[in-house]
Chains A and B, each alone.
Chain A
């Protein structure tokens, strides 16, 4: 009985974090902020829901499977977020107008996507930004 209520608590927390991830994806102002909501909150939510399943079934085989899924999610979510964020930056996805600093501006060579520390101010290092709300 106690275990069932523990499962209920953990699963509701997980579902809450998943809802927060969805709301963040819908409401935040630009792609990079949205990604910070989805990659962290959604991974935490999925991990909590999976942990709830492990507590509920309470068998070694299922716990091992659940731990494998959680480990895999923790391994892949940052890699996927990094890849898609990098691709979006090269694609010229506009930053939010309230962004204070863009430390990568003028440091990526557009021809081979190489990061150069001491880059000369030339159009070779300029990534054209798209317009806000422009579909592609």
Chain B
């Protein structure tokens, strides 16, 4: 996706966005980015992204909040941590991308990332009510929500897994579900990132 805009000096850009991210654990070094491109070069999915990490961070720095939160890049991140490991300025790239996902999620910016977001929220739903992830339920919820036809297409593989004892029909739930409920309520009350 092409980005267009007038050239502005850094002093003329909005700083509130980068300041927002500086409080993320590992985000305090964000301003040290030298735009070397090690992150984009190391990223296994950069070629799928509209804005690979190097560019994304330049955009953060330029205060382009909306364009960053709308980028499909943040939802393509697989959390492989290669960028974080290799960044010469020790910027916690992966953790910052998590923070961007949380902001995008909170603000309901779903365009182009419907599936990744649906997967995340289906996962959270399952864990919240069981205390554990029950994979068959997660897959049914997620595919049912986003690609019901694909659920049918995947049923062959599902059956193979079932026959090999890898798709149990009954899921486990933990005893401490009350504790999980309390944790959820209290966390939401306290807030944070």
Query: Are A and B a genuine interacting pair, yes or no?
Result: no
Residues of B within 8 A of A (CB): none
Interface residues of A (CB under 8 A from B): none
